[in-house]
Chain A
Amino acid sequence: MLGRLQSLGHWALGTFERLGRASTLLLSILAGLPGLLLRPRLLIQQTFSIGVLSLLIIVVSGWFVGMVLGFQLYNTLVDFGADASLGPVIALTLVRELGPVVTALLFAGRAGSALTAEIGLMKATEQLSGMEMMAVDPIKRVLAPRFLGGVISMPLLAAIFSIVGVYGGYFVGVGLLGVDKGSYWAQMQSMVDFHDDVLNGIIKSVVFGVVATWIAVFEGYDAVPTSEGVSRATTRTVVHTSLAVLGLDFVLTALMYGVS
C-alpha cells in the first residue's frame, strides 16, 4: 500500500516537474519570438516544412471526411425530408468540430512527430550544445521558428481541411445523391454564422496549434539524448497531443456552445 502511494507520489512529482520545465521553455520561446521578425527567412522555411508539406494529407483527409459526411448525413436527413439542409449540416460539422480536431490529430502525426524527432536528434548529436558554445541560443534559433511556424500553419490547415470537406460533401450530396445545388450553398450561407461558427472554429485551431507545437517542441528538447529516448519522445508527442486536443476540444466546446 505504502509502496503504491510512494510511486503515485513519484509520478505526480515527475509530472509537475515536467510541466514546470515545459512552461519555462514556452516562456523562453515566447521571449525569442520578437527576434524572429528580423529573420523572416527562418520562419518561412519552418512554415513551409511544417505547413506546406502537411497539405497533401490534410487535403486528402478533408476530401474523404467530407464525402463520408455527405453519405451519412444524407441518409439521416432524407428520412425527415430535410435533405436540402445537407449543406449547412456538413459545413457546421466541419467548421465547428472536425476541421480543427481532425487537422490537429493529423498534424500531431505528420508534423509534430517530425519536429520532436528532429530536435531530439539534434540534441543527441550535440548540435544544440554546439550551438550554445557558438553563442547561438538554440531556443531562439531552432525552437522559436518551429513553434511559430506550427502555430501559423494549424489554423490555415484547418481552414483548408474544412473547405475541401465542404466540396467533398458537395460532390457526394449534389453530384451523386441529387441534392439541389442551390439549396446546398444558399442554406449553408444563411445558417453558418461567422462569429458563432467560423470564428469559434478558428479559435479552436489556434489553441490546438499552440498546444500541439508546444508539446512537439518540448518533447524533442527534453528527450533523453539516445535513440531509445528520441523514439519514446516521438511517441509521447503523438499520444499527448491527441489527448490534449480531445480534452481541450471538450472544454472549448462546452465554453462556446454549452452554456447559452
Chain B
Amino acid sequence: MTTPLVEIRDLHFARGSRPIFDGIDLDIHRGKITAIMGPSGTGKTTLLKLIGGQLRPQSGRVTVDGRNVHTLRHGELYELRKRMGMLFQSGALLTDLDVYENVAFPLREHTDLPEPMIRDLVLMKLEAVGLRGARNLMTNELSGGMARRVALARAIALDPMMIMYDEPFTGQDPISMGVLVKLIRSLNDALGLTSIIVSHDVQETAAISDYIYLLSGGKVVAHGSPEELEHSSSEWAQQFLQGLADGPVPFHYRAVPYADDLLAGRETGGAR
C-alpha cells in the first residue's frame, strides 16, 4: 500500500487555554475522498488550517507528501501550497476581480504563461464547473453556490495534488448541493486528486467519501468507510450519523448544576 498523502500523528493544538485537539492521528490516502466530520466547534476548519500550515500545533506532526509542514521554511511551505488547493466556506473570491480574473489569479501569480494559454486554461477550469458563460460576472453577482464553484475552478487552476473543502455544502439549496456533490466526486476521479472534506452534512458527505473520520472533544472517536460506520457499535458514530440529541455528545455546554445556578442569583442580587 502506498504511503498516505497526509499523515497526522499525535497532534495537540489549543486556542489560549481551550484545547482543540488532544492527540489525534489521521491518514489521508492518495486518490481518495476522506471526510472529517464532527459537531460544530470540534475544530474541523482548524484541522485544515493546520494541514495547510496556516496554524502551528503545540506538539505533534503533520506531514504532507512526506514533508513535515511545520518545519518547512517560508519559501518551501509556499511551494508546497501551490500543490494544495483549498475551498473556503465563503469562497474567498477576490472581490475586485471578475470571475475570469479570479480563476486566472493563481496562474498569473505563479506562471509566466502567455495570455492565450491562460485564457484556454481558465475556460477549461470554468467549463469543468459549468460556469464558462459566467466569466464576465463580478463576484457580487454570483449566488452562493456559483461562488463556491468559481472558487473550486480557482482551486484546481494549478492542477494541485489535493483539495481541502471547508464545509462545501453549508447553506446550499438542494440543486446546487447536488451539483457540488457530483463535482467533488467527478473532479477527484478525473483529475486524480486527493480530497479532504470537512463537513457536518452527513448524507451528502457520506455519499461520496471513501473514508470518514469522526471528531469530537479533540479526539478521533470513530473512523472507517461509510458502511463500516453505519453498522458500527460506537455510540458516537450512531449519535452523529443519526442526529440524535442524546448520546455521548452533550446537549448542554459545561456549567454548574442548574439548581445551584438558579439559587445563586438570590444571594448575589442578580449578578450574572
The chain A residues found within 8 Å of chain B, CB to CB, are 122, 125-127, 129-137, 141
Contacts and interface: CB of A to CB of B under 8 A. Distances in A.
A135 B53 CA distance: 11
Contacts of B88: 126, 129-130, 133
B86 A133 contact: yes
Contact of B95 (A125, A135, A137): A125
B110 to A, nearest CB: 7
B126 interface: no
Contacts of B78: 135, 137
Interface string B101-122: 0000110011000000000000
B81 A132 contact: yes
B65 interface: no
B172 interface: no
B264 interface: no
Interface string B68-90: 00000000001101101110111
Given A126-B90, A133-B86, A141 B95 contact: no
B81 A135 contact: yes
A125 B81 contact: no
Contacts, number: 52
Contacts of B81: 132-135
Contacts of B106: 134-136
Interface of B: 52, 54, 78-79, 81-82, 84-86, 88-90, 92-95, 105-106, 109-110, 151, 154, 158
B109 A127 contact: no
A129 B55 CA distance: 11
A134 B105 contact: yes
Contact of A135 (B82, B92, B93, B154): B82
A156 B139 CA distance: 35
Nearest to B52: A133
B109 A134 contact: yes
Contacts of B94: 127, 130-131
Nearest to A136: B109
A125 B96 CA distance: 13
B92 A126 contact: yes
A133 B95 contact: no
Contacts of B86: 130, 133
Contacts of A126: 88-90, 92
B82 A129 contact: no
A135 B54 contact: no
Given A135-B79, A137-B78, 8 more contacts: A126-B88, A130-B94, A130-B151, A132-B81, A133-B81, A134-B106, A135-B82, A135-B110
